[in-house]
Chain A
């Protein structure tokens, strides 16, 4: 079967790029890590690419707020929500407009919101602290997102973030538009509005989520795998498989 080419975007301080590559590989893609600086210099790299993942980590140390600096690299001046004016911003916009899937995980989600590709914003966790623990994510029935496979079984995977509290002025409208993709099932770990864990853009090809599905690609990665046996339906890999499958059919 064809392995769609995937680009994993990494900035200085991105640190789950390798984990993301491993998940993409397992999901049937042909991934390559491309640095943001390389993408800025050579936006044409997106031309032959079928899907893009902005990986998690702490780009530029998040010293000025999560994802802000990498979003500036990728999109120019856009905190007011306007489209960026750089060449790479135009290339990313064209990529999305052509229906090719884009995923932002954790820091990648923060980057995509600040770059204006996803609605809302991510603030400090309600606790004020970084938090790493496993969570369950319920796929939303009415979601428009191409990164979901239609199975409503909750996905389980870890979170690892300090700024993951999703904020949106009108989560009901977002939900009505099919843009809520995932909600925390069980305890809300960070105070996100309406338990929202992942959102998509109006077209459904861009998904951002705070948890790390790339860290649950095999059954034995689940912390309870010894006692209850892992369930394939819980795998975070499902998200990558759905995205790759969508890319394959384009």
Chain B
């Protein structure tokens, strides 16, 4: 069974697609045959369960055994059973039995809810048909058998906490039976009476249908339909809610914002407007398209463009970590396809709660951070590995404030031969849906992700969460790569499903589609469900009729389903038909332009900007080792190795050096190409807690510095922003956001580095049982993508040669607020006075350009950016990466805590050959910028810092390799 990458097993009933559904829920279906498959050798899943139970403080007397169960319905007979068994069971690896299992201890079986993707069941149906065995339904599940001395209640707790997830699965003690998809309650569009509702009733309707609209928006909809003299259909109402959701329309980023008190308030340009203006002001020639469509587009080399996009998938990952992260990756890859580029690499940035938090202390409905981490990493790995894209750059950040709201940022980069923009759709073009079938999965995802979470979130929004199917999306890539001339417009089916995709494409044109032509996973879906379903792995293309046949051929070759569901019309109306009814007849101008723009109030933060606040670190070695052991700074190897970062053969600078050290950025370059693409990440939510504006400047700087450190040209860097924030209706939260956007713009202008795309995720809050709201810290992820003109000049963090000099670039100042030093001091109960967040260094942009020239001239042998943990951590990481020592004779600041542990921005640590030192220092020096020669690389396996006994390299490595 395919559980290799930690995929959740289990399954629901999957029917042969040509079979008429079995009727209402619970109706007797054909006799179930069950095949229980066990590994002959040890099954590592039992260790994972036992280890997890131990970590959660509920140890099991013995590791349980795990089996896979296949449920098959149909008239198999002995021969059918034998042939299926021979196909499904590898006698060197597995045993299988069609007998009902009999186990003395507690045994639980877990199967998927109806409607959740079950790829194994789909494969089984296909195989049975190829084998000529009469099978008409299949499902899969897992069986966990505990030793007889295991307490039943303990077994139940372990299954609940570690094995099954109620969002996608059901389970019970004993034998499970698969269930069929629930039939829809209505197959006709229904009218929703809104015209006569008073405000309270309107608000109630909004809550009831999870519309996530505010009263003004609901009243606008009410007025619109009053003026039409009719009520909306459920299809129309749901479509408006999706299109007007925070997730799809970015209300906060488009809102007019008032800042200040009543007497002296000022109105700001919208946040999105500020970011756009900043990009326009920079006027970088390499930007082809910014903040328009699915992804930002930049020029790479003449005739080749890159598409860049980073997304958030926070809410889904909180309730179903595997599926949430899985479909997060799938979604951002489709964004790149929707920009008509071939995806080439994936990135991920993950924020989790502290893994050591006791299970009993978690709020109701919250999964343990370990469980979330395991699921998210497995979900990213499963999608990226299977679709065949290297997952390259990333970061992991732990903080208790992410326990109830973990954050998952997924990015993707695509490449294409430069071609004219797709300017369609034109009237007469066909509305064509490619890829997966539509089911009751992912209903209302856009509104779900725009709402606050609480203990019931998982129950209510279960249908919002899905499992991806990377193979289907891989086939979509195969079909679309090279098909760019066959369509006039393309977009992905993401949040809001067809309603958003077709709705956006039809803007300004109009479309007429028939839901009856949309391929379904099963019957019984209500029209609004088909229209809104966020079933994964679907793209919508506008196809001129003369190209239909050619596209058909491509789809047939790769086995991709194509559905022609209607046409673009030129009427400016969107008409959705279902079973002969008009399910929706929407004025597109109202759909896209009717939403009342919000006016919001912000209260700007007033951060500490003056107090330096000295630190007493005591024993430098102890402090350094504590920092290297810190969950945020220690080795990410356990994550990186679970991602295929080698596929494509283009990963030239890897996330880890050969010796396991951390890289700054990664570099991708086709084996035959001299040009490369550098990707770097900046994130620091702790700075955000103190000073959101300085945080934004610091993470923009860090992202740019990360790509410059590996060889990117600072004049050719583009940025992506991802804001994950609390509820922006709270003025202080919005004020933090305003400050961060301003910080982004100031930093981007200073570096002359444009933003080309972004995505915000707001309302990352959890309301506890007492009604207290817990927001995530202000979290901004910046992804920098830079052009590397000559990959042979790339450098890494690996120290290369004893005797070479170590030089630090940039200014070092006492700036400790939000630092990892402060976290270590706090966790050891040591007092530290308030301080400032590292402030922007005006000399940094010119410094990066000089460093790039020095690299091009071959003056740099190794380079590492100095960021979290400060200079001491950067030095230690370079020693670890190079398996060499270092001796430091001079420090960049008189105060040792500042010199070693301050996180001042704009700094890099460089290895230089003695003969090049003079030239390097001359290149790097200007009136306001003087590098500091620190000391040299040594062959001794130790780091020697002034006034401190040597710290053994082995001790540095051991601390760094601590698994959080």
Chain A residues within 8 Å of B, Cβ to Cβ: 12-13, 15-16, 18-19, 22, 35, 37-38, 57-58, 60-66, 68-69, 72-73, 77, 79-80, 114, 120-121, 123-134, 158, 160-163, 165, 167-169, 212, 214-218, 220-221, 223-224, 226-227
Contact = CB atoms under 8 A, between A and B. Distances in A.
A218 B671 contact: yes
18 contacts: A15-B387, A64-B2, A66-B4, A68-B123, A72-B87, A72-B130, A123-B92, A123-B93, A128-B6, A130-B6, A131-B641, A132-B642, A169-B92, A212-B646, A215-B647, A220-B792, A221-B649, A227-B882
A65 B388 contact: no
A141 to B, nearest CB: 26
Given A62-B386, A121-B90, 19 more contacts: A35-B557, A57-B386, A58-B470, A61-B386, A61-B471, A62-B4, A65-B1, A65-B2, A68-B123, A72-B131, A80-B86, A128-B44, A132-B385, A165-B41, A167-B93, A168-B92, A212-B646, A216-B649, A221-B652
Nearest to A81: B91
Nearest to A164: B4
A88 to B, nearest CB: 13
B507 to A, nearest CB: 34
Contact of B798 (A37, A161, A227): A227
A161 B685 CA distance: 34
Given A77-B83, A128-B45, A227-B800, A61 B119 contact: yes
B1 A64 contact: yes
B727 interface: no
A235 to B, nearest CB: 12
B649 A127 contact: no
A12 B386 contact: no
A227 B558 CA distance: 43
Residue in A19, A58, A114, A131 with the greatest tally of chain B CB atoms within 10 Å: A58
B518 interface: no
Nearest to A37: B559
A22 B649 contact: yes
B123 A69 contact: yes
B559 A132 contact: no
Nearest to A159: B646
Nearest to B861: A226
Contact of A224 (B120, B658, B792): B658
Contacts of B658: 134, 223-224, 227
A127 B44 contact: yes
B387 to A, nearest CB: 7
Contacts of A158: 646
Determine the interface band of chain B, counting residues with CB < 8 A from chain A. Answer: 35 or more
B471 A69 contact: no
Nearest to A64: B123
Given A12-B559, A79-B89, A123-B39, A63 B646 contact: no
A51 B649 CA distance: 22
A163 B671 contact: no
B671 A217 contact: yes
A79 B86 contact: yes
B671 A221 contact: yes
Contacts of B641: 131-133
B122 interface: yes
B654 A223 contact: yes
Contacts of A66: 2, 4
A13 B559 CA distance: 11
Contacts of A60: 123, 126, 471
B122 A220 contact: no
Interface of B: 1-6, 39, 41-45, 47-48, 83, 86-93, 119-120, 122-124, 126-127, 130-131, 381, 385-388, 469-471, 474-475, 557-559, 640-649, 652, 654, 657-658, 671, 791-792, 794-796, 798, 800, 882
A219 to B, nearest CB: 10
Given A12-B471, A15-B386, A132-B643, A120 B882 contact: no
A130 B5 contact: yes
A162 B4 contact: yes
Given A15-B388, A129-B5, A77 B90 contact: no
Nearest to B7: A63
Contacts of A120: 92
B475 A64 contact: no
A168 to B, nearest CB: 8
Nearest to B800: A227
Given A61-B470, A77-B86, A167 B92 contact: yes
B434 to A, nearest CB: 15
Residue in B93, B381, B649, B794 with the greatest tally of chain A CB atoms within 10 Å: B649
A87 to B, nearest CB: 14
A16 B647 contact: yes
B133 to A, nearest CB: 10
A118 to B, nearest CB: 12
B652 A220 contact: yes
A64 B88 contact: yes
A134 to B, nearest CB: 8
Given A79-B89, A127-B44, A215 B2 contact: no
A204 B466 CA distance: 46
Top 5 closest A-B pairs, CB basis?
A128-B44, A15-B388, A162-B4, A63-B119, A224-B658
A215 B646 contact: yes
Nearest to B391: A132
Contact of A15 (B4, B90, B474, B645): B474
Contacts of A216: 649
A57 B388 contact: yes
Given A72-B127, A80-B86, A128 B47 contact: yes
Contacts of A224: 658
Contacts of A35: 557-558
B44 A126 contact: yes
A129 B93 contact: no
B616 to A, nearest CB: 39
Given A66-B2, A72-B130, A79-B89, A215 B652 contact: no
A163 B123 CA distance: 18
A65 B643 CA distance: 19
Residue in B45, B120, B647 with the greatest tally of chain A CB atoms within 10 Å: B647
Contacts of A130: 4-6, 381, 385, 642, 644
Contacts of B559: 12, 37
A73 B571 CA distance: 48
Nearest to A236: B649
Contacts of B48: 128
B186 to A, nearest CB: 33
Contacts of A131: 641-642
Residue in A64, A79, A162 with the greatest tally of chain B CB atoms within 10 Å: A64
A133 to B, nearest CB: 5
A131 B249 CA distance: 39
A13 B386 contact: yes
Given A62-B2, A132-B646, A226-B798, A13 B474 contact: yes
Contact of B649 (A19, A161, A163, A227): A19
Residue in A114, A120, A123, A124 with the greatest tally of chain B CB atoms within 10 Å: A124
Contacts of A19: 647-649
Contact of B41 (A72, A123, A226): A123
B661 to A, nearest CB: 11
A141 B422 CA distance: 58
Contacts of A161: 4
A47 B537 CA distance: 37
A66 B381 CA distance: 16
B630 to A, nearest CB: 24
Contact of A12 (B558, B640, B791, B794): B558
A132 B645 contact: yes
Nearest to B382: A130
Contacts of A80: 86, 91
Contacts of A57: 386, 388
A61 B5 contact: no
Contacts of A169: 92
A220 B653 CA distance: 10
A223 B647 CA distance: 14
